[in-house]
Amino acid sequence: MPPPRPLSLITGASSGIGAAFARQLATLGHDLVLTARRVDRLETLATELRGQHATRIIVLPHDLSDPATPRTLCDALEQRGLQVDWLINNAGYGVPGTFVANGWATHADFLQVLLTAPTELAWRLLPGMRQRGHGRIINVASLAGHVPGPAGHTLYAASKAYLIKFSQSLALENRAAGVNVCALCPGFTWSEFHDVTRTRDKMDKLPGFMWLSAEEVVHQGIAAVERGDAVYIPGRVNRTIKAAIQLLPDRLAMWLSARESKRYRNTQI
């Protein structure tokens, strides 16, 4: 049985999908642990939610590119006697340009944030969920993990494909123990993501029907993990894209990816 007031740990909670998870889970009666690098954003969000809901909110600013952060976070929770019921692995970003255009340190930080940190957090928090017989893990992946990897942002699609397969395995391993795991795979979502990657001018040229709000992505994601969906793509357009790509020969799918990626990826060295 779920606890009367579940505790949710949300990474990348300072904006976008992470902040939307915080708002919706607080509305559902969850206590929250919010983590990200921007402490001012986290404190502003915490103040907003404390004023709207009778919920406990703990702000733990950390940088997930530091390999020590997952253990540090979990140690801080244990010292407070807190048990995480929902883990939202949301932190992520894109690295513009081609693979060799960026230094290895940039790629290493990216892999730490998008691959190693969510994997380690799940490893550290899953035993407690299994012991209590209830838990939820949402790994925020992407539609990009279902389609051919484009030129530019080279590691992004690859990292999201990993999260999808990882989530499927975890879902199968832990469902009987009362723990549901879901890879949430949004397509284009209104957020700061494309401002950070300096592709906003390209993204604004895409038609409006291809976009979802962060709030809608989160609403559908929460419903999906509660249903026990191991993988969920929000939005009919995004599900159609995934289905169509799967029907195409690899060569044609790669050609389409190369053509379309020029519209929204920075492929310059």
The residues assigned a catalytic role are 156
What is the SS3 assignment for the chain? CCCCCCEEEEECCCCHHHHHHHHHHHHCCCEEEEECCCHHHHHHHHHHHHHHCCCCEEECCCCCCCCCHHHHHHHHHHHCCCCCCEEEECCCCCCCCCHHHCCHHHHHHHHHHHHHHHHHHHHHHHHHHHHHCCEEEEEECCHHHHCCCCCCCHHHHHHHHHHHHHHHHHHHHHHHHCEEEEEECCCEEECCHHHHCCCHHHHCCCCHHHEEEHHHHHHHHHHHHHHCCCEECCCHHHHHHHHHHHHCCHHHHHHHHHHHHCCCCCCCC
